[in-house]
Structure 1
Amino acid sequence: MDKQELGAFLRNRRERLRPEDVGLPSGPRRRTPGLRREEIAVLAHISTEYYVRLEQGRAPRPSADVLAGIVGALRLTGPESDHLHLLAGTAPNRSDLHSRQVRPSITGLLHRIPSTAGFVMSAAFDVLAWNDLAAALMENFAARTPDDRNLARNAFMPRVSDDATMYGLSDVAEFRQSAVMGLRSASARYPDDPSIRALVDELRFGSNEFARLWERNDVQPPSMLTKTFRHRVVGEITLDCDALHLVDGDQHLVLYTAPVGSAAAQSLAFLDALGADGVGVR
């Protein structure tokens, strides 16, 4: 149980709620944002004293019934509820360390799937495996060190030599939000993983934007159904983006595709013909 993070998460979510969100009158005497602690306690059917101690990081581990009451009182979404349980220590961690090993069948699939740029990303946003079309669309990952293949680090602390931020993505801000939420969730799932802790510390101290987003305590990433790249060879290209969760390794298989016969599909075919070496290292 991470008492301090649990308290911060509860406080943050309580302060975001408005009285009218839970059917309470706003009233003229509210001096601070959000609901009062005693109001959450009533809605959750627990004592105010115990809820205050939870927010202050002084309470023992809450039971499943208490957490269920708090989830309802704070109007938490599914991902937020999962995160709450992880912080409270009531959801098992997959392992002490996040996995960086990609199943051979997934690696093989990457190289067999046609007209698709694909890569596998770890829970810490490391690119672990990719196909040639992904290298042509984004960058030649084989020419980078493992640290330089971390998408969160590249989003917040881009390499000086890069001529385009995050491969020319048009929604870099949205990706940064998603990366922060993903790392916060990974930190809760793998609290003893030194590589995740080190990455989060590096980004918190090295990027004011990451630090600002981290303090928001968000854990539900926005939906990203398409991605638009500004590629230096084929120009602007908008692709469908699907991220499939590989449960056994807690990884994501990210696939970029285009409708058959579209201009984007023609651009992908051109990049596929050129290959990573033809496009050049970004």
Structure 2
Amino acid sequence: MTVDRTGLAEFLRNRREALQPEDVGLPRGQRRRTEGLRREEVAALCHMSTDYYARLERASGPQPSEQMIASIAQGLHLNLQERDHLYRLAGHSPRARGVSGQHHISPGLLRVLDRLDDTPAEIVTELGETLRQSPMGVALTGDLTGYQGPARSITYRWFTDPATRARYAPADHEQLGRVFASGLRETVARRGRDSYAAHLVDLLLAESATFRAVWDRHEVGLRFTTGKRFVHPEVGLLELECQSLIDPEQSHLLLVYTATPGSESHQKLALLSVIGSGVA
């Protein structure tokens, strides 16, 4: 496939001008005259330079890589149909949908997350890869979006990284490990032995004796309870309720953590909002 520079430029301009600051969690300001978002705002959302993005809109830039297109699609809050169209305009084949390793977040989930600044929340894949967190989510668990390779999955980290387990109440570790293994087994059955989920199993079988023991139980159907007990390095134990919203097309979950009003954990969350993520 060849890049359609003119079509790409027109599509990007159209989608940028259709977005309002509040659609992407940005303040509007009192003197905004730009129709839609500014180029520099979109560039920041897409994690690229303003010059690079502006050249794409002028149809004078290089052919963007698949990684760049994925970042632009997410930054512009494109739906799956728009994302696939963007890939084709850029001369790439669209990525498969609804499989492990699919990291494009639906605009609906992003809009909800953008409105949860005062609440711990995160968007995760079926393998427990954190794609996006609210500011309070980072304050609660630290930034979970920067991991690379297998470590992106909390299931992999649970059995290979003591620091991950230390974030949860020790009395819950054994049950959590069983639930993580159960979920991974179900994902492998759903996605197949050639899937990335199966690759994670092979890695864990080679690296973790604890995982091998849990895996040999062949448990399926185990689920997390709505109650979560986190251990924060500054405020200590927090007992929270976890509610979830699913995007079935992408197998993504929006997880939102709340505390009972008036409880000690509610007071600790209020303290975390002041402390921020610097200590997490």
In which range does the TM-score fall when normalised by the shorter chain? Answer: 0.5 to 0.7
Cα distance in 1 for residues equivalent to 2:241 and 2:206: 34
**Could you say if the C-alpha distance between residues 166 and 154 of structure 1 is closer, same or farther in structure 2, counting changes exceeding 3 Å?**
farther
Cα distance in 1 for residues equivalent to 2:275 and 2:207: 36
- Contact 1:115–1:268 (8 Å) recurs in 2: no
- Contact 1:137–1:231 (8 Å) recurs in 2: yes
Structure 1 residue 274, shift from structure 2 partner: 2.3
Where do residues 90-129 of structure 1 align in structure 2 (5 Å cutoff)? 97=100, 99-113=102-116, 115-129=118-132
**Could you say if the C-alpha distance between residues 251 and 96 of structure 1 is closer, same or farther in structure 2, counting changes exceeding 3 Å?**
closer
**Could you say if the C-alpha distance between residues 104 and 231 of structure 1 is closer, same or farther in structure 2, counting changes exceeding 3 Å?**
same
Cα distance in 2 for residues equivalent to 1:169 and 1:240: 14
Cα distance in 2 for residues equivalent to 1:182 and 1:257: 24
- Contact 2:136–2:276 (8 Å) recurs in 1: yes
Q: Which runs of 5+ in 1 are unaligned?
A: 1-93
1:136 maps to 2:136: no
Which string of whole-angstrom CA distances, capped at 9 and with x for unpartnered residues, describes residues 17-48 of structure 1? xxxxxxxxxxxxxxxxxxxxxxxxxxxxxxxx
- Contact 1:154–1:166 (8 Å) recurs in 2: no
Q: Describe the SS at the equivalent of 1:168.
A: coil
**Could you say if the C-alpha distance between residues 138 and 96 of structure 1 is closer, same or farther in structure 2, counting changes exceeding 3 Å?**
closer
Q: Describe the SS at the equivalent of 1:167.
A: coil
Percent of matched pairs sharing the same residue: 25
Amino acid at match of 1:107: L
- Contact 2:188–2:195 (8 Å) recurs in 1: no
Structure 2 partner of 1:206: 207
Q: TM-score, normalised to structure 2's length?
A: 0.59
- Contact 2:117–2:134 (8 Å) recurs in 1: no
Structure 2 partner of 1:64: none
CA RMSD of aligned residues (A): 2.3
Structure 1 residue 101, shift from structure 2 partner: 1.7
Which string of whole-angstrom CA distances, capped at 9 and with x for unpartnered residues, describes residues 220-263 of structure 1? 11441211122111111111122333211112222210122222
Structure 1 residue 168, shift from structure 2 partner: 3.3
Cα distance in 1 for residues equivalent to 2:265 and 2:190: 37
Q: Which runs of 5+ in 2 are unaligned?
A: 1-96
Cα distance in 2 for residues equivalent to 1:142 and 1:99: 14
- Contact 2:117–2:136 (8 Å) recurs in 1: no
Return structure 1 stretches of 4+ with deviation > 4 angstroms: 94-98
Structure 1 partner of 2:53: none
**Could you say if the C-alpha distance between residues 166 and 252 of structure 1 is closer, same or farther in structure 2, counting changes exceeding 3 Å?**
farther
Number of aligned residue pairs: give it: 183
Equivalent residue in structure 1 for 2:154, among 146, 151, 156:
151
Deviates more, 1:238-247 or 1:130-139: 238-247
Cα distance in 2 for residues equivalent to 1:271 and 1:146: 30
Q: TM-score, normalised to structure 1's length?
A: 0.59
Q: Which has the higher contact order (CA 8 A, sep 6+)?
A: 1
1:269 maps to 2:270: yes
Cα distance in 1 for residues equivalent to 2:104 and 2:181: 23
Which of structures 1 and 2 has the bigger CA Rg?
Answer: 1
Q: Describe the SS at the equivalent of 2:228.
A: strand
**Could you say if the C-alpha distance between residues 114 and 135 of structure 1 is closer, same or farther in structure 2, counting changes exceeding 3 Å?**
closer
**Could you say if the C-alpha distance between residues 96 and 111 of structure 1 is closer, same or farther in structure 2, counting changes exceeding 3 Å?**
closer
Q: Describe the SS at the equivalent of 1:141.
A: coil
Cα distance in 2 for residues equivalent to 1:97 and 1:149: 12
Which string of whole-angstrom CA distances, capped at 9 and with x for unpartnered residues, describes residues 103-142 of structure 1? 1321231231254211122111211121111111111224
Cα distance in 1 for residues equivalent to 2:147 and 2:185: 25
Cα distance in 1 for residues equivalent to 2:249 and 2:221: 21
